[in-house]
């Protein structure tokens, strides 16, 4: 059986999940980890039995034995330089979303991966949600007939929203609806977005980082399908879960409603009150199984590298998602629809908007 040396750079919440998942796989010969917080580095090293643990990601880049790297770093400004260095070193890379903060950076990463003939993908784990996979099956096998519309409503808890919005000045469209844009475009492929109209509403998050509490976007696809996606991160503190999602897909021959609000796991204790267990988007380890999407996604990429198969998320698809949520930000600022792909004048205006936010 072929085995491989693997590294995880950034072992916080998501990186910790990936590191633990990899440590339990018989496909991993040696696991290497990198983390800038010494106490967390020591914790994950003990938890996973990692062969090496370093504070400097260049130790991963410069180790020729490491073939596959998972990059789970924050803040998101670190994604581009670390991914660039790993790809240049000839390593296969799974990078958490977003692929980059600027389209030119995304293009650079994609080109480096092609030049070095290495696999490069983005962590859009919702494709590994069985409910989303079922939707893909029912569209592909023709059960719903011609798709007419798709609606996704996703909202996060205020505590999680504060954590995300506090570390980077990106909108709910860029940080949360990005997952929904990804899987909806995947469901509707080969259709592509041609226009988006977005609006945002301010509230609790505005004094924290100037972010909208929620954004709603209407995307028109080139085959006429209308997609409506709403995302926010301000469920009240008393709400007993981290993330809730409702999905509606209508076609000429049927409709499909998906309840992903995690209300089917209801824990109520004297100390903790009501909780919807296993309600995070990444999921979590539950003893011998993984409840959620990130564990299977982690192993999928490793197996693709070992078997020389294309990973499920093509980086060009991730770039299309990035261009769409960037257009959503521009649309919300302009209060008018924005065409896709972005024109040169729209790209210039977007650059000014991003510079102002930074």
HEC per residue, the chain:
CCCEEEEEECCCHHHHHHHHHHHCCCCEEEEEEECCCHHHHHHHHHHHCCCEEECCCHHHHCCCCEEEEEECCCCHHHHHHHHHHHHHCCCEEEEECCCCCCHHHHHHHHHHHHHHCCCEEEECHHHHCHHHHHHHHHHHCCCCCCEEEEEEEEEEEHHHHHHHHCCCCCCHHHHCHHHHHHHHHHHHCCCCEEEEEEEEECCCCHHHHCCCCEEEEEEEECCCCEEEEEEEEEECCCCCCCEEEEEEEEECCCEEEEEECCCCCEEEECCCEEEECCCCCCCEEECCEEECCHHHHHHHHHHHHHHCCCCCCCHHHHHHHHHHHHHHHHHHHHCCCEECCCCHHHHHHHHHHHHHHC
Q: Tell me, what's the pLDDT at 1? A: 67
pLDDT at residue 234, rounded to an integer: 86
pLDDT of residue 354: 83
Query: What are the structural domains, with CATH classification, of the chain?
Result: 4-118+302-313 (3.40.50.720), 127-281 (3.30.360.10)
Task: Note down pLDDT in tens along the chain; length 358 residues.
Answer: 688 999 999 999 999 999 999 999 999 999 999 999 999 999 999 999 999 999 999 999 999 999 999 999 999 999 999 999 999 999 999 999 999 999 999 999 999 999 999 999 999 999 999 999 999 999 999 999 999 999 999 999 888 888 777 777 789 999 999 999 999 999 999 999 999 999 999 999 888 878 899 999 999 999 999 999 999 998 888 887 788 999 999 999 999 999 999 888 889 999 988 888 888 889 999 999 999 999 999 999 999 999 999 999 999 999 999 999 999 999 999 999 999 999 999 999 999 988 887 6
Please tell me the predicted confidence (pLDDT) of residue 355.
82
The per-residue pLDDT for 168 is: 72
The pTM of this model reads 0.95
Q: What pLDDT does residue 27 have?
A: 97
């Amino acid at each position: 059986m072929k085995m491989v040396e693997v590294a995880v750079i950034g072992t916080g919440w998501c990186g910790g999940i990936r590191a633990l998942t990899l440590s339990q796989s018989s496909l991993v010969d040696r696991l290497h980890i990198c983390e800038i917080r010494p106490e967390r580095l020591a914790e994950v090293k003990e938890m996973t039995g990692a062969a090496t643990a370093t504070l400097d990601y260049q130790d991963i880049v410069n180790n020729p034995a490491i073939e596959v790297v998972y990059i789970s770093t924050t803040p998101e400004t670190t994604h581009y330089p670390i991914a660039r260095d790993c790809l240049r070193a000839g390593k296969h890379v799974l990078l958490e979303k977003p692929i980059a903060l600027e389209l030119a950076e995304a293009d650079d990463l994609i080109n480096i991966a092609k030049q070095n003939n290495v696999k490069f993908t983005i962590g859009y784990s919702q494709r590994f949600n069985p409910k989303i996979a079922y939707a893909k099956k029912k569209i592909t096998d023709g059960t719903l007939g011609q798709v007419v519309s798709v609606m996704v409503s996703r909202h996060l808890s205020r505590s999680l929203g504060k954590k995300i919005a506090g570390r980077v000045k990106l909108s709910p469209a860029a940080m949360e609806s990005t997952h929904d844009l990804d899987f909806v475009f995947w469901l509707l492929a080969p259709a592509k977005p041609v226009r988006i109209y977005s609006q945002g509403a301010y509230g609790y998050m505005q004094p924290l980082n100037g972010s909208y509490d929620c954004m709603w976007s209407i995307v028109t696809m080139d085959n006429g399908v209308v997609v409506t996606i709403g995302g926010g991160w301000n469920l009240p503190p008393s709400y007993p879960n981290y993330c809730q999602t409702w999905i509606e897909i209508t076609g000429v021959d049927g409709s499909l409603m998906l309840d992903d609000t995690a209300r089917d796991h209801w824990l109520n204790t004297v100390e903790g009150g009501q909780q919807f267990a296993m309600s995070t988007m990444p999921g979590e380890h539950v003893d011998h199984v993984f409840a959620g999407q990130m564990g299977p996604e982690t192993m999928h990429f490793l197996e693709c590298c070992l078997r020389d198969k294309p990973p499920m998320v093509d980086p060009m698809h991730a770039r299309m998602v990035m261009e769409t949520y960037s257009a959503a930000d521009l649309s919300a600022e302009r209060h008018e629809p924005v065409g896709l792909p972005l024109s040169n004048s729209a790209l210039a205006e977007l650059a000014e908007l991003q510079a102002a936010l930074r």
